[in-house]
Amino acid sequence: MFKSSQTHDVRSYLGFKTVTILCLIILYTPLLVVTVYSFNASKSITVWEGFSLRWYADVFVGPESAKFKLAAWNSFVIAIIAATVSTVIATLAATGMIRAGKFKLRPLSFGLISLPIMVPEIVLAVATLIFFNSIGFQRGFATIILAHITFCIPFAYLPISARMQGIENTFEEAALDLYASKKLAFSRILLPLMGPGIISGFLLAFIVSLDDFIITNFVKGAGVETLPTAIFGAVKQGIKPNIMAISTMLLMVSVVMVTISYFISKSDKTN
């Protein structure tokens, strides 16, 4: 009796639970407060005047709605393209790294793939801007997409390669033994097995692209705005209630996407 209570006790430290709860409070309070205040009827961000959907209406039909709608559309298009292209590139790269034998350049290749996350974001932003400038590439939508594809590749690669390492190649071997071509083994066996990893990679790349401010801010042309750059520009004049409504909606998008990826990875483990 004494022994078991002591072995249980050796794991727990006084106060660690309190710190964990404190940690969750720090993490969630700012987001909850902004969500609550986005429903404030008042024009002032300080005074609470009752529940209203006024600022959500303002986001969609108010004076600044055109600007934010365009920015949101840009963000969405950029994120879809960047996530799709980087997921395809990352899937091919993972196959080349994990399913194509060992080769001399393998560590170098891995270094190249992880370069965008090793280099501080602001440094990559400066470097990309300088690159486009020196080759005379006009800054605009295209430069944003190219930059996003680049920094999304490692984020797509990590879950995809982790998944591929977890799949034994016996399935493909069996297909090849039954006279399937390598292309067929890849598209009918490996890719379907890779499904959850590819979806996680895509979602991660999508969120990272949607999230980006610094690199976009450097490589976007004048007049092209994504949601983060538009929000940043607006916040510089002060936090207004419509910004809180936009923030709350974006917050919901993130939470939904993370929840989806959580359940994908969970269902994956049970299989």
Partner 1 sequence: MAGGTQGSGDAVSHTYENARTWLLMPSWVVLTFLALIPVILMLVYSFLTKEFRGGVIWDFSLAAYDQFFFDRGLFGDDPPTFEWTYITIFWRSIWQAGAATLLSLLIGFPTAYFIATRPAHSRAIWVFLITIPYWVNLLIRTVSMKFLLRDQGPLNDTLMGLGIIDAPLTLVNTNFAVQLGLFYSYLPFMVLPIYAAVERYNFSLSEAAADLYASKFVTLRRVLLPAVKPGVVGGCILVFVPSLGSFLAPDLLGGAKNYMIGSLIEEQFKGNAGNWPFGAAASMILLSMVLIVLIIFARSQAHREKGAK
In the 8-state DSSP scheme, what is residue 105? T
Which residue in 2, 4, 102, 270 binds partner 1 (CB under 8 A)? 102
Which residue in 41, 98, 193, 264 binds partner 1 (CB under 8 A)? 98
Which residue in 97, 194, 198, 199 binds partner 1 (CB under 8 A)? 97
The 3-state DSSP class for residue 112 equals helix
Residue span 32-51 as binding mask against partner 1, x where in contact by CB under 8 A, dash where not: -xx--x-------xx-----
Q: Phi and psi (nearest 5°) for 40? A: -75, 135
**Under the criterion CB under 8 A, does residue 254 sit at the interface with partner 1?**
yes
- Spell out where 158-237 has E strands: none
Among positions 120-179, residues that touch partner 1 (CB under 8 A) are 120-124, 126-131, 133-134, 146-147, 149-150, 153, 157-158, 161-162, 165, 168-169, 172-173, 176
**Under the criterion CB under 8 A, does residue 191 sit at the interface with partner 1?**
no
**Under the criterion CB under 8 A, does residue 184 sit at the interface with partner 1?**
no
Cβ neighbours of residue 227 closer than 8 Å, sequence gap 6 or more: 68, 71, 72, 74, 75, 210, 246, 250
**Under the criterion CB under 8 A, does residue 64 sit at the interface with partner 1?**
no
* CB contact at 8 A, 229 and 207: no
Angstrom distance (rounded) from CA 170 to CA 176: 10
Number of residues that bind partner 1 (CB under 8 A): 105
**Under the criterion CB under 8 A, does residue 266 sit at the interface with partner 1?**
yes
Burial class (CB in 10 A: 0-12, 13-18, 19+), 2: exposed
Quick one: which segment of 49-57, 62-70, 108-116, 192-200 binds partner 1 (CB under 8 A)? 108-116
Closest CA to 184 of 195, 198, 172: 172
Quick one: which segment of 25-33, 54-62, 65-73, 192-200 binds partner 1 (CB under 8 A)? 25-33
CA 201 to chain CA centroid, Å, is 9
Quick one: which segment of 61-69, 76-84, 98-106, 192-200 binds partner 1 (CB under 8 A)? 98-106
